Amino acid sequence: MYEQQGVEAYQAHQVERESIVLSPGVAFDLARKLLALNVSGRPYVEVVLLSRNSADTGLRVFNAIQHYGLAITRAVFTSGSDTSRYVSALGSHLFLSADAGDVLHALQHGHAAATIVPRAPHDSVDSGAKPNELRIAFDGDAVLFSDEAERVYQASGLEAFSRSEQAAAATPLEGGPFRGFLQALHRIQTEFPRDQQPIRTALVTARSAPAHERVIRTLRKWGIRIDEALFLGGLDKSEFLRAFGADIFFDDQRRHVESASRVVAAGHVPHGITNSKQ
């Protein structure tokens, strides 16, 4: 409605349908599982709504939040302007948006951010996940880690990349934009016994041996446990993400995101040398 008929038609549409509950969107299950972490009165997670709606048109969104019983109480409505400028003020560890410009601005200011891509309809696979267990998967280079290794690959090819990573195996990689978010998840994990974990994380990377060692040593240096690590050597990631049961997957390369979105909600992280070229 907004794209085809403009803002006034959109505003009228939302107000007229204020009592009609919106259907769950692509981030609904992620938000629900994040909020489910707040057990026994411990506020581990807060989800805040940042919206380009006005407060008037945003009332329909709040009605839907109440209908589904989501414990979301804070919101910012910007009436069409960039929402990312409030990420720092909120102390957010993760910013998700369908607006690529807002996501890029958030990344440029040092925040973990991704453009969320809708998941296509698909048949589910039994991953063994518990009903409220949160499963998050990450690519490595330019997401959890810096793009320093990816720059070698882009400039000189796979063989040079492998030699470089093998030579630097004992040198930890610098952190990427999602290091802080992974650390925040890890802090929550440490509050629970190993057999009662509400969060499971996975590294899903195109790396293979011998480039695996530097990644493992980097995570060890950071003091972060990653639950599953998949070194796929260039294989398509989508079926592995389905088998893991990811609620969302973050990758810097759009082609990987589009492939993954066939089976999971996916977020494109427009960071690093690959995106600079584009």
Active site amino acids: 139
How many Å apart are CA 63 and CA 210, to the nearest integer?
Answer: 52
Find all residues with CB under 8 Å of 181, minimum gap 6, and list them. 93, 94, 112
Angle of CA points 181, 39, 139, to nearest 5°: 25
197: left (phi over 0), alpha (psi -120 to 50) or beta: beta
Nearest to 249 by CA among 222, 231, 237, 267: 267
Match 């509950």 to its residue by tokens.
21
Q: Compute and round to an integer the Cα radius of gyration of the chain.
A: 20
- φ, ψ for residue 86, nearest 5 deg: -95, -5
